[in-house]
Structure 1
């Protein structure tokens, strides 16, 4: 049973790991921090996986766990963050690293997004992932109307940051 659960988890994680890498890119500034955050997200996902009921899609659940992990670690950034060693979990996951040298415009957009607060970052991330407002509201734990209003305000903020 445990082996089947682990295989299912690894298959899901391998399929959707780009979600975690994109979140890591938003909340970190260097490859080492990116790797550390990805490791911590993976561990938190594994710890929570037995409680995953399948009420939502795996990717939606993964967004929520990954964003909560990133925000929690980001807020504790001034203190030394204790992470678990991923080798202890024996996962065989082929990491696919996101190429951050693709376009200068993408770098500018990410720099602007990093200036936003934690919730606004998460909102923009989900919006850029083509999530509908129902999924965004479920992931962030806010109403659909609130998600729409916040997104419009965030778009205005980003325009001001990018075009001062």
Structure 2
């Protein structure tokens, strides 16, 4: 495959999955950092890893895995440990549950980076199998962790 074909295939894949990349970047960007900076880091990581993409999983699964790993590595590298990361989400303006949704996202922001990654995938209605493929954990481990995260969020909401 020629370089122009590879570039076109890559750009097509990015355009089809742009929402995933933006979602992960916005979920992990801290208050002092631009979502666009993290978005660009993810794109760069995807480009570097693209030649090794064998198509054994769905492109969206591969993109989630690279994006999450990029964000986690980015924060480890920068050695910044923000205690609070603002989640930028368009929350539907429904009077019945708007306050509850806002409160839920505030609680999610207090979770650790791995826990937030699991919640992000869970809220994006990924199956445990898909989450396992993205994170490299086992389905059983995913099930256990998500169950514990739900309990943790319940405890946090009662405090």
Select between 129-138 and 23-32 the one with higher mean Cα deviation.
Answer: 23-32
Q: Which residue of 2 aligns with 1:85?
A: none
TM-score normalised by length of structure 2:
0.82
1:1-164 equivalences under 5 Å are 1-30=2-31, 32-78=33-79, 100-103=89-92, 105=99, 106-164=101-159
Change (3 A) 1:21 1:107: farther
Once the two structures are TM-superposed, the CA of residue 30 in structure 1 deviates from its matched residue by: 4.1
TM-score normalised by length of structure 1:
0.80
Select between 105-114 and 46-55 the one with higher mean Cα deviation.
Answer: 105-114
Change (3 A) 1:114 1:13: same
Q: Which residue of 1 aligns with 2:85?
A: none
Once the two structures are TM-superposed, the CA of residue 122 in structure 1 deviates from its matched residue by: 1.0
Contact 1:60 1:135 in 2 (8 A): yes
The separation in 2 between residues aligned to 1:122 and 1:22, in whole angstroms, is 11
Q: How many residues align?
A: 145
Runs of 5+ consecutive residues of structure 1 not aligned to the other structure: 80-98
Change (3 A) 1:40 1:52: same
Q: Which residue of 1 aligns with 2:95?
A: none
Once the two structures are TM-superposed, the CA of residue 119 in structure 1 deviates from its matched residue by: 1.4
Runs of 5+ consecutive residues of structure 2 not aligned to the other structure: 81-87, 93-97
Once the two structures are TM-superposed, the CA of residue 115 in structure 1 deviates from its matched residue by: 1.3
